[in-house]
Chains A and B, each alone.
Chain A
Amino acid sequence: MSSISDYRKLEESITIDAQPHPEHTELLTLNIGPHHPATHGVLRLIATLEGEVVRDIKPVIGYVHTGIEKTAEQKSYWKVIPVIERMDYLSYYFNAMAFCGAVESLLGLEIPPRAQYLRVIHMELNRIMSHLVWLGTSALDLGAMSMFWYCFRERETILDLFEMSSGQRMHTRYFQVGGVFEDIPVGFAAKLQAFLDEMPSRADQYADLLEKNEILLARLRDVCPLDAETLLSLQTTGPLLRAAGVPWDLRKTDPYSSYDHFEFKIPVGTVGDNYDRFRVRHAELYESTKIIQQALDGLPEGPYISDDRKVVLPPRHELATSMEALIHHFKLVTEGFRVPEGEVYFPIESPRGELGCFVRSDGSAKPARVHMRDPSFVNLQTTAPMVRGSYIADLIASLAMIDPVLGGVDR
């Protein structure tokens, strides 16, 4: 028995820096990816290792570059929405919101309150869905495989709701310039309420499965912390920044689409290690549920899209009776609406951070430049400072906690 406790004492006294290992003065360059089960998408990491310890890391991206911004310049504003939605493929409503918000501010268009509340409902559902996919795949990376099935069970319920309101599970092109495409059908509210009733208990289930698990705690607690100053100098936003203790959330500081009508808290961490990042995102599940509940309870009556016929299609029953409606419809479908000249930057809070859309219009029916400031692209720069000096296993865990979505990184 005494020999075992001596071994434990010896084990505890070893730290990474304390042992100068004569055989490990050589650095090994290892290529991780782009095809790798644990990088979230096609991310290539060139890791410089000393033994098992990561000394430097260089992310190489561009393997999913789709030229979305260039394609968006060729299409009229209405047709850009499906193209721009496919950028950050887990938060498609946010991509559409950023673009529609930018175009609406260029046009000076008023969004009816019902449309704003519907947008909030769908965006928060998308936030929950994105966090669920993150939770499932991160737990898969860490080895807790059964979380994947639990999270995707909830995700299927959310996708059923999306299919009810817009007909598509993913990339729904539900948000239009001026509001939303269609009103929610009968039965949506009931199904949404059923989902909201069970979601907090499901989130409790996830916490019960993971939080007391020693292996998970050992892999996440005090692993790869980054303080707020470094994160701010690297322009990080979103749950990464909030885990380090900075309560910065654009839904509170710079509200858009009537987020200031709702009462919700912002989960903030203390240390900024992987465990805080995990807890912040998990707590956001509860907060998003609260927001959707308030939006559903207070959903105002009214039109679901603006009635400015120069921008928004007239309802189909008007086409049979009104000549102007027919002409507007024709103009909008063939050429599209023209946006006055100007440049605007519209930032929103996506599940990964500040998602901004820059639109430059030259007065014609097609945008002259659409640029999406994607949070994952900027947040990926934190990989290198985060994992220097830790093990490869911690690298995998940290990458999971950064939650990069390579569609947004590469656009």
Chain B
Amino acid sequence: MEITRSEVPSEFRSRQLNARDMLRGDMEDAELQKYVEQAVVTTTVDRAVAWAQGNSIYPLTFGLACCAIEMMSIVAARVDIARFGFEAFRASPRQADLIILSGRVSIKMAPVVRRIYDQMLEPKFAISMGACCSSMGVFNNYALVPSDKFMPIDVHVPGCPPRPEALAHGILKLRDKIQSNEREGWRERYDAVGTEEILVPRAANG
């Protein structure tokens, strides 16, 4: 088995905190080992599959509010995400693997969003577009829920609304994340292993 080192993507919050802890010398043994393992890619087949997965993301048509208009702009001709192969927006969550939460998530909508996210099939990714769903945005009040509270988010794109170029940048960062990690389902990324629903087949009659 060939062990090669690759660059550690340093953009994400948890990785930032990990890196900061390691630099300060605060990291413990188990955490340090996990940190090192995350930086190591194990097989080239996995890498090839991850490369293919990253290049064929089907986003879900999920526009909530103002950010949805800028999300429609990335499909339009000026910032064209068809260059990267992501123009196939799917309406059904069963066929999509990227949910772009574009707009403010109100408390009435949060259970609906969670349900749609649950209906998506693994491997699935989530981008929280704009300030409102990432962190309450302009309106910090009773009616909104930050998306981190009820579903795992991979990339937060700041802006109000983010320019289409900014959203494209965020999607490309997600692509890099997919391609440099092996097949890590979201349960491993967010420490939720053990929460899978396992269907037990019905015992045959007669």
Contacts and interface: CB of A to CB of B under 8 A. Distances in A.
Q: Do A and B bind each other?
A: yes
Interface of A: 34-37, 41-42, 62-68, 70-71, 82-83, 86, 89-90, 133, 136-137, 148-149, 152-153, 155-156, 169-171, 406-407, 410
Interface stretch (B3-11, B18-26, B140-148): B140-148
Interface string B59-71: 0011111101110
B72 A152 contact: yes
A89 B71 CA distance: 13
A66 B144 contact: yes
Given A63-B108, A89-B65, A171-B66, A153 B77 contact: yes
A35 B132 CA distance: 18
Most chain A CB neighbours (cut-off 10 Å) among B76, B112, B163: B76
Given A82-B138, A89-B65, A156-B76, 14 more contacts: A37-B91, A63-B108, A64-B65, A65-B106, A67-B144, A70-B141, A71-B140, A71-B141, A86-B66, A86-B138, A152-B77, A153-B78, A155-B76, A170-B66
Contact of A41 (B63, B73, B75, B161): B63
A34 B109 contact: yes
A66 to B, nearest CB: 5
Nearest to A36: B91
A189 B23 CA distance: 54
Nearest to A411: B143
Given A37-B61, A64-B103, A65-B106, A170 B143 contact: no
B143 A67 contact: yes
B160 interface: yes
A41 B65 contact: yes
Contacts of B62: 35
B139 interface: yes
Given A65-B143, A70-B141, A90 B161 contact: no
B117 to A, nearest CB: 11
Which 10 interchain pairs have the tightest Cβ spacing? Answer: A152-B76, A89-B66, A67-B143, A37-B91, A63-B109, A67-B141, A156-B78, A65-B106, A37-B61, A62-B108
Nearest to B63: A41
Contacts of A153: 76-78
Contacts of B76: 148-149, 152-153, 155-156
18 contacts: A34-B109, A62-B108, A63-B108, A64-B64, A64-B106, A65-B108, A65-B143, A66-B143, A67-B143, A70-B141, A71-B140, A89-B65, A133-B69, A136-B72, A153-B77, A169-B163, A170-B70, A171-B161
Nearest to B109: A63
Nearest to B103: A64
Given A64-B104, A152-B73, A406 B142 contact: no
A320 to B, nearest CB: 32
Nearest to A157: B78
Chain B interface residue number, banded: 20 to 34
Given A63-B109, A64-B64, A64-B103, A171 B160 contact: yes
B39 interface: no
Nearest to B89: A37
B65 A406 contact: yes
Contact of B106 (A36, A66, A136, A137): A66
Contacts of B161: 169-171
B116 interface: yes
Contacts of A137: 72
Interface string B35-71: 0000000000000000000000000011111101110
A70 B142 contact: yes
A67 B108 CA distance: 12
A66 B76 CA distance: 28
A186 B183 CA distance: 53
A172 to B, nearest CB: 11
A396 to B, nearest CB: 13
A41 B68 contact: yes
A69 to B, nearest CB: 10
Interface string B81-100: 00000000001000000000
Contact of B64 (A42, A82, A133): A42
B69 A66 contact: no
B92 to A, nearest CB: 9
A37 B91 CA distance: 6
Contacts of A169: 70, 161, 163
Contacts of A82: 138
Nearest to A75: B138
A399 to B, nearest CB: 15
Interface in B134-175: 138-144, 160-161, 163
Given A70-B141, A83-B139, A42 B69 contact: no
Contacts of B78: 152-153, 156
Contacts of B112: 34-35, 63
B172 to A, nearest CB: 20
Contacts of B163: 169
A136 B116 CA distance: 26
A298 to B, nearest CB: 32
Contact of A156 (B73, B104, B139): B73
Nearest to A160: B78
